[in-house]
Amino acid sequence: MAAKERARSGLGPRTAILAAALAATALLVFAGSGSAAAQAAPVLQAAPFVSGIEQDGKELTADHGQWAGTPTDYDYQWQRCNSGGSGCSDISGADNQKYTLGSADVGNRVRVGVTATNADGSTGPVYSAPTGEIAAAGTAPANTALPSISGTPQDNQTLTASNGTWTGTSPITYSYSWQRCDSAGNNCSAIGQSSQTYRVSSTDVGHRIRVAVTAKNGMGSASATSAATDVATAAGTAPASTAVPTITGTPQDNQTLTAIGGTWNGTAPVALTYQWLRCDANGDACAAIPGASGSTYKGTTADVGHRLRVAVTGKNAFGSATATSAPTGVVTASGPAGAIRLPNGTTSIPVTSVSLPDRLTVSRAVFNPPAIPSRTAPVTARFRVVDSKGYVVRDALVYAVGVPANRVTAPSEVKTDQDGWATVVFQPLRGLPMRQGALLTIFVRARKPGESVLSGVSTRRLLSV
């Protein structure tokens, strides 16, 4: 016999038996006389339903619904249906008000049939609606790494929530609740935005933002909240230079120059990049130097005789701008102190920078005219002085005299000019032989001012014309 739920009258056993006997006698009397009203079986008013977690191993409970006719007993029978809720059949032995789901129910639906009985008969079974699809046994979500937020907390910028890491039975779905906090990240309240992304508004400026992520599966749900962002700032501006870049260092071949980026305004962070420029001797007609894109630059021989600039570009999330330094001095050649690069590419040094073991050398001599036509015309001689490294030497003292002394005049010492040449003018004398093939021998000496004519870096040479 199916298990029953019995209505209780509140009378004791003996009293109940006596009352039942009296009621039966009275019924017979009234029935015999034809004066009693006809009775009826229970009538359904609200359908049965099932409550509980729809998962393997969980217990479901049947509610018998609402009935008219004062039922005294309820019988239950659980049925298993397919995943669409049809094709239902009785589950053997499942005839109690409660039913524990098993593995056979996973992927299917269940329902319960209820039969109500009173003294006048029974009605049923009446079936509840099928449950949802029964889930396999599992665990509810649990957070193991907090959610996080990426993006710039700034007016009109978009923030994106990362779910964090969760354990629990799949599938897990996620929902989001963005919150606005005070500047310290406390006193947070819901903004009303539930998507995974959030666009910062002017209302958020001065506040911090965080997001609560809720993970849910068939076994339950849990929430975890991210750390708060930095304080949201107002909408940003592109960089603008307020003080142009500058260059430090010596503009010379093989020497390192350093760019100072200047001063910039605009929304931080502002990143600076560099491009060095080679200009003409006036600092104009500048062109980018290939590969010279660092904050420092070492001069090369190609830069000698030119001026250099550096162009600095400031860039942030809102744009970029470029500012260019003033030009350096003209780049000189590497060498001793005071070395300069001449237009013809040679390096000129002052005689004061020449010291032993380097020496002076008279490297070239040019006479004009190349042959002496008469004793009346002067002869111009030019002598070039260099040092042992081949640099032309300026300000060296050059003395030249004919040998023997009665052939030409003996001019005073003269200094070499910037390109290392000294010019001496001779006037022929009566002792100069004028026959074809005769030679004039010239004694030439170059020395450093202040040194003995016979010592130091001085040099001597005999030449003929």
pLDDT single digits (tens) 137-184:
888 899 999 999 999 998 889 999 999 999 998 899 999 999 999 999
Enclosing H/E stretch for 189: strand 189-190
CA distance linking residue 377 with residue 368, whole number of Å:
10
The residue among 421, 342, 349 whose CA lies nearest residue 385 is 421
Residue 52 CB coordination number (10 Å): 15
How far apart CA 32 and CA 299 sit, in angstroms, is: 132
Q: C-alpha distances in angstroms, 38 versus 8, 23, 31, 112?
A: 23, 15, 9, 31
Q: How far apart are CA 159 and CA 181, in angstroms?
A: 15
Residue count (the chain): 465
In whole angstroms, give the CA distance from residue 1 to residue 199. Answer: 66
Q: How far apart are CA 454 and CA 434, in angstroms?
A: 33
What pLDDT is attached to residue 438?
A: 84
> HEC profile for 308-331?
EEEEEEEEECCEEEEEECCCCCCC
Q: What is the predicted pLDDT for the residue at 38? A: 53
Q: What is the pLDDT of residue 264?
A: 96
Helix (H) or strand (E) holding 222: strand 220-225
> Per-residue DSSP letters for 414-448?
EE--TTSEEEEEE-B-TTS--STT---EEEEEEE-
β-pair type (66-68, 43-46): antiparallel
Identify the burial level of 419 via C-beta atoms within 10 angstroms of its C-beta, where 0-12 means exposed, 13-18 middle and 19 or more buried. middle
State phi, psi for 351 to the nearest 5 degrees: -60, -25
Q: How far apart are the C-alpha atoms of 162 and 160, rounded to whole Å?
A: 7
Cα 15 from Cα 249, distance rounded (Å)? 119
Local confidence pLDDT in tens for the 465 residues of the chain: 344 444 333 334 333 333 333 333 333 333 333 333 457 999 999 999 999 989 888 999 999 999 999 999 999 999 999 999 999 999 999 999 999 999 899 999 999 999 999 999 999 999 999 999 998 888 889 999 999 999 999 888 999 999 999 999 889 999 999 999 999 999 999 999 999 999 999 899 999 999 999 999 978 899 999 999 999 988 878 899 999 999 999 998 889 999 999 999 988 899 999 999 999 999 999 999 999 999 999 999 899 889 999 999 999 988 999 999 999 999 987 777 788 878 887 889 999 999 999 999 999 999 999 988 888 989 999 999 999 988 999 999 999 999 998 899 999 999 999 999 999 999 999 888 888 888 889 999 999 999 988 889 999 999 988
pLDDT of residue 115: 97
Long-range contacts formed by 297-300: CB under 8 A, 24+ apart: 297/256, 297/257, 297/259, 298/254, 298/255, 298/256, 298/257, 299/251, 299/252, 299/253, 299/254, 299/255, 299/256, 299/257, 299/331, 300/253, 300/254
d(CA 378, CA 428): 7
Query: Tell me: the pLDDT tens digits for 223-261?
Result: 999 999 999 988 878 899 999 999 999 998 889 999 999
**Alpha carbon distance 337, 391 (integer Å):** 12
Strands 220-225 and 208-217: antiparallel
Distance from C-alpha of 35 to C-alpha of 307, rounded to nearest angstrom: 130
CA-nearest of 419, 399, 396, 417 to 409 is 399
Residue 161: its H or E element: strand 158-162
* CA distance to 17, 18, 21, per residue, from 13 (Å): 6, 9, 12
60: Cα within 13 Å, side-chain hemisphere: 32
Measured distance CA(337)–CA(350) in Å, rounded: 8
Instruction: Name which of 94, 98, 88, 91 is nearest 127 in CA terms.
Output: 88
